[in-house]
Structure 1
Amino acid sequence: MERSPRRLQLYTVFACISHSDSELRVFQMRQFRILSLFLPCLLILARLQAQSVVTESAQSTSDRASSDGASPEFSRSRQLIQQGKYDEAISELQRMSSSQPGMKGLSHELGVAYYKKADYPRAIDLLTQALREDSADREATQLLGLSYYLSGKPGEAIPRLEKVQGWLPRANVDASYILGQCYVQTQDYPLARQAFAKMFDLPPDSAASYLLTARMLFRQEFEPVAREYAEKAIALDPKLPLAHFLLG
């Protein structure tokens, strides 16, 4: 059966671990230090990819042309957002709010502008209002979830980001990583493991998934649970050297 690209990434790390050939086990021990560094590199790569979502996820909104069904009056404010002139865009939208109270889509546009400005509390208020006006606004749902996450409110972020994850046709590294971090911060470790496993298209109850989650937890100093997950990885696959390395 053909493996997905993400599965192949981890396959290069884990494929040899369960092999029974003695020569291969000797090779594993010689390459132990290299392997112990390889997995963290994958996780760092995923983290860097995830960081891009907080700046790119609003881009499709601000890049939309006025011909997509939205009011053409927003073209000027969107252009200002694209140029990084967030205060000017907000002032433009506020003038429109004063002259045309209740204008359709205005809460959405202001929410995007405040999100891009990194004023997440204000973005939360406006994106929440945008969803009251249009509950099917997917962009507002995603940005609201990210605004809660970036405001240090993972519990509020989770239901919004779960919706976003459900819309994706296949695993998305960015969405899975951020959602997994929210689960970790709310101490829902089984769901965190599922989210991290989805990053690399792994079975959530596999030794590799437990090891991935253990590594994430150790990095964030959740040591008791991290040790438990590393021990579980060893129980599922005693020949997993990276798990032994994590436990010391």
Structure 2
Amino acid sequence: MNEADDFLRKGVAAQQRNDLNAAIDNYRKALAIDPKLAEARANLGAALSAAGQFDEAIEEDNKVLVSAPGNLGVRMNLGLAYYKKGDTENAHTAFEAVHAARPQDVAAAVLLGYTDINLGKSNQAAAMLTPLENGRESNMDLEYVLAYALINSGEQAAGLPRMEKVAKATRSADAYFIAGTARLRRREFHEARADLDAAIDLHGNFPELYTMAGQARDALGDTPAAQSAFEQALKQDPKDFTANLYLGAMHLKQRDLDSARPMLELALQLQPANPMARLQMAKLNGMTGKYTEAAATLEDLEKADPNWLDPHIELAAIYYKLHRPDDGQRERGIVQQIEASQQKAGPSKQ
């Protein structure tokens, strides 16, 4: 065995025991002796990627592929290095080449699916992964990416059961969160709460988790549990718009105006044009004697959405406080018209 092969052997042994620095050093010594030793260069690329040195890994992988473009293992490693670096476009190109050559390679397909989703091509990911599912329903990596792609492409009815299956099988807070968020958007509040509460039980610090859980609990009328969730959300992120808005509105309903005001003011500062934030601030102004300010906001909201009931209800009361009974009576009439129209239309089909 020549000296280059000896360094290669030492590099492999070091990599197997996860001593990446020693592996990288030995592979480089091997290549210094024999620059054409392809195995050493391929292994060097993999070791550099594992060590988080992605640019160097990409450089070594590309050197191998110049002379061996059909080396799919190295191309897969190249895609992984790009993916870990955050270069989704180039990662997609590499994984796509591997998938084209080995369409039944599930690992390559899963990674290609991830990059498709990240590039806003969830439809393509779902179409590519669906044919691979038959007989592989127990492969949770495949099921997760397929479920995510289906949910993102609007096929929630197909994606949600898969995502919840993955969540239960792998006890994944991430999977429960994705499923719960989708359920919440579908107004399936009981299912959303179950998924989001399961995620909380598994991982209490998941970003936005408490905010979503609070909304599900609030929609089910469980105000104390919702309030607790929003309070936890604000501990994680004091500038969480939704948590500030909901919690501020809850304090307002409880007539705890001192607690409501800073939250509603911050929500409005974060999203000045948000209709719900403006409505809640108008309610607060109305409750604290700032009738002119409240009326101006409510009138703007009415103009923007004439069929939104809440501004008309609030404005009717404000007009009476401003000693404008004719305007107040007019608003009451509009409220009655909207309510009659809503009753005629029946329950929302969302």
Q: Give the TM-score taking structure 1 as reference length.
A: 0.52
Q: Percent identity?
A: 16
- Tell me, yes or no, if the aligned pair for 1:210 and 1:230 is still in contact at 8 Å: no
Secondary structure of 2:86 counterpart: coil
Q: Does 1:213 align with 2:213?
A: no
1:168 maps to which residue?
102
Q: Does 1:187 align with 2:123?
A: no
Q: Does 1:104 align with 2:37?
A: yes
1-side partners of 2:21 and 2:146: how far apart? 45
Aligned-partner residue type, residue 117 of structure 1: A
2-side partners of 1:75 and 1:102: how far apart? 16
Match of 2:110 among 157, 174, 177: 177
Q: CA deviation at 1:214?
A: 3.8
Match of 1:90 among 24, 27, 34: 24
Q: More deviation in 137-146 or 113-122?
A: 113-122
Secondary structure of 2:35 counterpart: coil
2:86 maps to which residue?
152
1:6 maps to which residue?
none
- Tell me, yes or no, if the aligned pair for 1:176 and 1:196 is still in contact at 8 Å: yes
Q: Give the TM-score taking structure 2 as reference length.
A: 0.38
- Tell me, yes or no, if the aligned pair for 2:8 and 2:26 is still in contact at 8 Å: no
2:226 maps to which residue?
none
Aligned-partner residue type, residue 85 of structure 2: S
Q: Does 1:200 align with 2:133?
A: yes
1-side partners of 2:156 and 2:185: how far apart? 7
Q: Does 1:137 align with 2:76?
A: no
Q: CA deviation at 1:109?
A: 2.5
Question: Any unmatched runs of 5+ in structure 1?
Answer: 1-65, 203-208, 218-225, 234-241
Task: Note closer, same or farther for the CA distance 1:176–1:201 as it changes in structure 2 (3 Å cut).
Answer: farther
RMSD, matched Cα: 3.4
Q: CA deviation at 1:195?
A: 3.2
- Tell me, yes or no, if the aligned pair for 2:150 and 2:158 is still in contact at 8 Å: no
Q: Does 1:121 align with 2:121?
A: no
Question: Any unmatched runs of 5+ in structure 2?
Answer: 136-144, 160-179, 188-350
Q: CA deviation at 1:171?
A: 5.5
Secondary structure of 1:135 counterpart: coil
- Tell me, yes or no, if the aligned pair for 2:122 and 2:150 is still in contact at 8 Å: no
1:31 maps to which residue?
none
Q: CA deviation at 1:153?
A: 1.2
Task: Note closer, same or farther for the CA distance 1:76–1:162 as it changes in structure 2 (3 Å cut).
Answer: same
Aligned-partner residue type, residue 133 of structure 2: F
Q: Does 1:78 align with 2:12?
A: yes
2:140 maps to which residue?
none
Aligned-partner residue type, residue 30 of structure 2: M
Task: Note closer, same or farther for the CA distance 1:140–1:74 as it changes in structure 2 (3 Å cut).
Answer: same
Q: How does 1:224-239 map to 2 (within 5 A)?
A: 226=153, 228-230=154-156
Q: CA deviation at 1:156?
A: 0.4
- Tell me, yes or no, if the aligned pair for 1:197 and 1:212 is still in contact at 8 Å: no
State how many pairs are aligned: 154
- Tell me, yes or no, if the aligned pair for 1:179 and 1:195 is still in contact at 8 Å: no
Task: Note closer, same or farther for the CA distance 1:232–1:122 as it changes in structure 2 (3 Å cut).
Answer: same
2-side partners of 1:96 and 1:244: how far apart? 55
Aligned-partner residue type, residue 165 of structure 1: H
2:203 maps to which residue?
none
